[in-house]
Chain A
Amino acid sequence: MSQELQRADPTPAVLKPPGKLRTFLDSDIVHSWKNQPVVIVATLVTLIMFAAALFAPWIAPQNPFDPRQLELIDAFTPPLTTSDFTGNFYLLGSDSQGRDVFSAILYGSRISLLVGFAAVIFALALGTALGLMAGFRGGWRDALIMRIADVQLTFPSILMALLIFGVIRGFLPRSMHAEVAIIVLIIAIGLSDWVQYARAVRGATMVEKNKEYVQAARVIGLPARKLLFQHILPNVMRPVLVIGTIGLALAIIAEATLSFLGVGMPATQPSLGTLIRVGQDYMFSGEWWILLFPGVALLMLALSVNLLGDWLRDILNPKLR
């Protein structure tokens, strides 16, 4: 007995609490991750596609948005072919403009991800703010915000996005449409998707508001702003982040859909959806690669982000289904 104690004393390293990394690696999240091959593959695909999009300028053989870099003479080069005219190698072929499909996919997923992330952040910020206000202040603000949410929920979000997109364009002169397309897209998708966050935050806020520590803080006389940001906000962030992860997949799909419908990114600055729309015209004439590769890229991106989101939701909040 005493021997054991003595042995333990001079070697405190053994008793040191495990580091943060160790704790993380032992956690349920990591355990569940390791046991699901599908989730591992989804993570890898997501990471690779994020990295490819982020480093597109360094990876891509050409800048597909820069007309001067396109070789019109190389138009419709099949995949895995070196051009006879310019000596350029086209991994996934080229399109009608001589644009390298591989480069276009890299730059296109960059736009898809940019719009996706920005729209989610916009929706998240707006929804959280309105949800906090509705839940914390209550009264007519709560009633107004929630009635608007109800009406908006009556319609599918893609329809809302289309409508908002159309309205914003109506206010802008036609010449500006192509330039600001990306911002209009972000606003339209973001505005179509804030309701979920607002509802979740409102619910969580109302629960949190009535807890004792918040009541106590009120009694002490803490100003409302401090109460909101220091006490309530941290506690409602968890459901918000879970919704956000799934929202990212939805926003990516929404952007692709709008661009495919011809009301999103213009052909000069194509996102994955635009590439698929353009590629659709060539599928009948045998140039399948212009359509198929962007399609597969979008499929992989949407599927793996969605799988990750689903998995995260199950881990973090099994009730949120």
Chain B
Amino acid sequence: MLAFLIQRVLQAIFVMFVVALISFSLFHYVGDPVLNMLGQEATAADRAELRGRLGLDQPVVVQFYRFIVNAAQFEFGISYRSARPVTDLILERLPATLELATISAIFAVVMGIGLGIYTALRRRSWLSRFIMTASLIGVSLPTFLIGVLLIYLFAVELGWLPAFGRGQTVRIGDWWTTGLLTTSGLRSLILPAITLGLFQLTLIMRLVRAEMLEVLSTDYIKFARARGLSDRVVNLRHALKNTLIPVITIIGLQLGTIIAFAIITETVFQWPGVGALFITAVRFVDVPVMAAYLMMIALVFVIINLVVDLLYYAVDPRLRAQGGGK
């Protein structure tokens, strides 16, 4: 158990180190930060002064060390574009993204697992066939097109739901703002959450279905039936548990993808989150914001990976006994 944990944590640290290296290289080699911050008109003395203040005159290794120390304290410097601390920019937009991603994830996981089970158990019903065909379209469609078409149908033509923005928000504590407590906030959340969750939903559904069909054909399920257990017990106790274990890994990784894909959804719905911030940064080569976003996403992915591994470990008695092979 301990060896397994240490190995996983080391791997996570390695990934974070590589990402930090990439982020630092962005800083160091893409464009000239001094030029970017002071503009063309600054004097040579101004530049040298800023260079010294930013520590850019020191050896690369020292700079990298300082970058990591700063990053560990969530310190990523000043945005070239808005001249504000990157950390502030990200923090004020983080709640919007996290709320959207969480709701989408719940939507995708609940619906995905439910529909996956249904289509596996009622494989031949017309509803299952319909769902499977529709899911193929869901997998093929670009996220942004789904979003745009949903806006066109439900906001422009039918006028049922807002087309963009977060609606009214309520401030909680120092920096968290939530849209979950107002009607307009909740209404604004529906279309973006569906857009963001739909792709993951279809993926999870197809995965659960395939895995469940495989489990249903195993000997131990057949033996469970031969022992006289009812359909409900066989399907929902035995088959489901065996289905969900391998699926947990991939679902976990999919949740990370949701945060990344939020970039697209946020752009479509003009959602004031970190994804939209990142797109603006890419468009204007705002390196500090790009680097910070990259580190943040990497951290989210690494944490999700770790949690998934541990969860996997906790639910599968075979892994527990072997002390973490696989």
Contact = CB atoms under 8 A, between A and B. Distances in A.
| A contacts B directly (C-beta below 8 A) | yes
A159 interface: yes
Interface in A136-158: 151, 154-156, 158
B148 A253 contact: no
B145 interface: yes
B82 interface: no
A307 B261 CA distance: 23
A169 interface: yes
B30 A171 contact: yes
B285 A295 contact: no
B163 to A, nearest CB: 7
Interface string B212-251: 0000000000000000000000000000000000000000
Contact of B26 (A167, A253, A288, A310): A167
Contacts of A260: 142, 144, 264, 267-268
A169 B279 CA distance: 13
A253 B142 contact: yes
Interface in B295-310: 297-298, 301-302, 305
A300 to B, nearest CB: 10
B283 interface: yes
A97 B88 CA distance: 40
Interface in B150-171: 151-152, 156, 163
Nearest to B302: A154
Contacts of B19: 151
A257 B144 contact: yes
B137 interface: yes
A226 B151 CA distance: 57
Interface string A256-294: 110011110000000001001000100110001001100
A307 B138 CA distance: 12
Given A170-B285, A171-B30, A303 B145 contact: no
Interface in A45-65: none
Nearest to A174: B285
B40 interface: no
A90 interface: no
Counting chain B residues whose Cβ lies within 8 A of the other chain, the interface size class is 35 or more
B318 to A, nearest CB: 24
Chain A at the B interface: SS class = helix
Contact of B260 (A159, A170, A302): A159
Given A280-B148, A288-B152, A263 B285 contact: no
Nearest to A279: B148
Given A151-B15, A169-B285, A262-B283, A284 B26 contact: no
A154 B282 contact: no
Contact of B140 (A165, A166, A171, A307): A307
A298 B143 CA distance: 12
A197 B47 CA distance: 46
A123 interface: no
Contacts of A283: 148, 151-152, 156
B30 A154 contact: no
Contact of A257 (B26, B210, B264, B297): B264
A302 B140 contact: yes
A44 interface: no
Interface string B115-159: 000000000000000000000110111111100110110001000
Nearest to B149: A295
B287 interface: yes
Nearest to A152: B18
B63 interface: no
A151 B298 CA distance: 10
A159 B263 contact: yes
B15 A167 contact: no
A261 B140 contact: no
Given A260-B144, A261-B279, A302-B140, A158 B152 contact: no
Nearest to B279: A261
Given A155-B298, A302-B141, 7 more contacts: A155-B297, A155-B301, A158-B260, A170-B31, A262-B279, A276-B148, A284-B156
Q: What 10 pairs across the A-B complex have the smallest Cβ distances?
A: A170-B30, A166-B282, A306-B140, A303-B140, A253-B142, A159-B260, A156-B260, A170-B285, A260-B144, A156-B257
24 contacts: A151-B19, A155-B260, A155-B301, A158-B263, A162-B263, A166-B290, A167-B30, A170-B26, A170-B30, A170-B31, A257-B143, A260-B142, A261-B264, A263-B283, A276-B145, A280-B148, A283-B151, A283-B156, A288-B156, A291-B148, A291-B152, A295-B149, A298-B142, A303-B141
Interface of B: 15, 18-19, 26, 30-31, 136-137, 139-145, 148-149, 151-152, 156, 163, 210, 257, 260-261, 263-264, 267-268, 278-279, 281-283, 285, 287, 290, 294, 297-298, 301-302, 305
